[in-house]
Amino acid sequence: MESFQLANESSPLSLTPNFILPEHKRPHLSEVKYLDSIPIIDLSYCDGNNPSSLEVIHKISKACEEFGFFQIVNHGVPDQVCTKMMKAITNFFELAPEEREHLSSTDNTKNVRLFNYYLQVDGGEKVKLWSECSAHPWYPIDDIIQLLPEKIGTQYREAFTEYAKEVGSLVRRLLSLISIGLGLEEDCLLKKLGEQPRQRAQSNFYPPCLDPELTMGLNEHTDLNALTVLLQSEVSGLQVNKDGKWISIPCIPNAFVINLADQIEVLSNGRYKSVLHRAVTNNVQPRISMAMFYGPNPETIIGPIHELIDEEHPPKYRNYHFSKFLEEFFNQEGTRRIVKEVFELPC
């Protein structure tokens, strides 16, 4: 790949000191585990109340308790819909910097924006992360299309419209399987997350880096929404924290990585986990991922679901408007965010 230039920079990306993390923030790649990974769940025979569905629900429930993450195969989203989406994102990040720079903004209240994460390290200095991210809502798609150069606008519109429709159905299906796994009515989580959900897409581009040990693509974080459906290119880089150790997530063609985010941890009263994950860089190939975030509307009240509270399981979190959660999340920009903990009740 030719050298990459971040949209908000004036020269091609290189490993200058403002990208180099202090020792204790580095990925320490030699300590990462490559063998045990998150469960891979086949959704082929999972519809209605047949015995194989119950088995799948059980696997999902176990994965949600133990890992907060799983991959799904045979999920019903046609391969070509995913391929087209990946191609459109690739073309987007291949635009010349001057064709993307008008999208670049540090204002995190902007609906559509291109940005580069940073980490505030000791002494207040900002270290940039080795990635560029583009975020926009699922609907209306015109919010982003009108800002894209004509030559990729049509392609992006077609790819994303189809992709968002498919992922939307998949999310509803997953939310019902997860609800059943929690012993709830199948539409419980969908209803709790409410009308007009906050649905945002984020594509992440990680250019190759000369020394992946010195940089991070995305710093460790949990997702702030309820459920994330992640599509990744055929290059690994995603790592999930399990019992304090980082494990690498293998790339499986046409699979999705599903991760539970903070609002499901709260709704499930801590039974299902929203787990720390991060993306590391590599020195060979660029990597692309797209996260489809599904969360509540800012006006929605989130708190542990009544049916999941009893004497043995007292509420772990207080109820809050999701807007308060968002406010706290954005206030912690640049740090290793600790957001859901702010809403925890004393035990």
Q: Applying CB under 6 A, does 37 fall inside the site for ligand AKG? A: no
Q: Applying CB under 6 A, does 247 fall inside the site for ligand AKG? A: no
Of 199, 215, 248, 289, which lies in the binding site for ligand AKG, with binding defined by CB under 6 A? 289
Residue 172 tokens, joined: 């509803």
Separation CA 60–CA 106 (nearest Å): 37
Q: Applying CB under 6 A, does 239 fall inside the site for ligand AKG? A: no
The listed partner (Fe ion, ligand AKG, none) that binds 27, CB under 5 to 8 Å by sort, is none
Kindly report the number of other CB atoms within 10 A of residue 322's CB atom: 24
Q: How far is the CB of 151 from ligand AKG (least distance, A)?
A: 26
The listed partner (Fe ion, ligand AKG, none) that binds 204, CB under 5 to 8 Å by sort, is ligand AKG
Across 19-138, the runs of DSSP E, i.e. the strands, are 40-42, 69-73, 113-115, 118-120, 126-128, 132-137
Cβ proximity to ligand AKG: between 277 and 316 the closer is 277
The listed partner (ligand AKG, Fe ion, none) that binds 238, CB under 5 to 8 Å by sort, is ligand AKG
- Peptide bond before residue 149 is cis, with ω within 30 degrees of 0: no
Q: How far is CA 322 from CA 13, 52, 128, 262, in A?
A: 37, 36, 29, 11
Cβ proximity to ligand AKG: between 251 and 309 the closer is 251
Where along the sequence are the contacts to Fe ion (CB under 5 A)?
223
Q: Applying CB under 6 A, does 269 fall inside the site for ligand AKG? A: no
Q: How far is the CB of 251 from Fe ion (least distance, A)?
A: 16
Q: Applying CB under 6 A, does 129 fall inside the site for ligand AKG? A: no
Q: Applying CB under 6 A, does 281 fall inside the site for ligand AKG? A: no
Who's near 322: CB < 8 A, 6+ residues apart? 198, 263, 295, 296, 297, 298, 299, 300, 301, 302
* 263 phi, psi to nearest 5 deg: -70, -30
Residues 173-232 that bind ligand AKG (CB under 6 A): 202, 204, 218, 223, 230, 232
Could you tell me if 106 and 254 are in contact, meaning their C-beta atoms sit under 8 angstroms apart? no
Contact positions vs ligand AKG (CB under 6 A): 202, 204, 218, 223, 230, 232, 237-238, 277, 279, 289, 291
